[in-house]
Amino acid sequence: MPHLPTTPQRSYIMSRIRAKNTKPELLLRKALWAKGVRYRTHVKDFPGRPDIVIRKYRLAIFVDGEFWHGHQWEKTKGLIKSNRDFWISKIERNIERDKENNAALIALGYTVFRFWGEDVRKNLNRCVNQIQLYVETAGEGRVPYPADY
């Protein structure tokens, strides 16, 4: 049987997880910067404090962690074994908040891109290409919807 951490150990482990400047986020930012895309990070006065904001093209980008934001939630929810009530309600509230932040940003005239950290790690070029395509078409005056990708 695998060794499960004690409550203080688990608390310590979870406290080490960062909310910003995660590895997938840094990968995406460095790749965008190398392509000449300029941006701001963690803009405080924006709903949800997006990881990357490109004001010129009214684009807000989030790099979401799979656990915290409920990637494939219906499948993953059953895998949570300890403190289920706490984690399930927490993650479901995070999912709701993401939807609220998306709606608020759209109401401000922004387009919202959300990438899973795993997608950024495994398909960095695809993520960068989606952003570049959006920026290029926005520069021409035709802004595609994220569904166009």
Give pLDDT tens digits along the chain (149 positions).
567 778 888 778 777 777 778 899 999 999 999 999 999 999 999 999 999 999 999 999 999 988 888 898 988 888 888 888 988 999 999 999 999 999 999 999 999 999 999 999 999 999 999 999 999 998 766 555 554 43
Sort strands 40-41 and 111-116 into parallel, antiparallel or unpaired: unpaired
Residue 147 falls inside a structural domain: no
Starting at the earlier edge strand, list the strands of the sheet with 40-41: 40-41, 52-54, 59-64, 111-116
Could you list the residue range(s) of the whole structural domain that residue 36 is in? 19-142
Residue 95 falls inside a structural domain: yes
Find all residues with CB under 8 Å of 65, minimum gap 6, and list them: 17, 22, 117
Residue 5 falls inside a structural domain: no
User: Phi-psi bin for 76: left (phi > 0), alpha (psi -120 to 50), beta?
Assistant: alpha
Residue 112 falls inside a structural domain: yes
Q: How many domains does the chain have?
A: 1
Residue 7 falls inside a structural domain: no
Residue 149 falls inside a structural domain: no
**Reported pTM:** 0.83
Q: What is the per-residue pLDDT for 148?
A: 45
User: Phi-psi bin for 36: left (phi > 0), alpha (psi -120 to 50), beta?
Assistant: left
pLDDT tens column, 68-84: 888 989 888 888 888 88
Residue 8 falls inside a structural domain: no
Task: Report the amino acid identity of residue 44.
Answer: K
- DSSP H helices in 22-145: 23-34, 66-69, 73-76, 84-107, 117-122, 124-139
Task: Report the amino acid identity of residue 58.
Answer: R
Residue 148 falls inside a structural domain: no
Which CATH number characterizes residue 105's domain?
A: 3.40.960.10
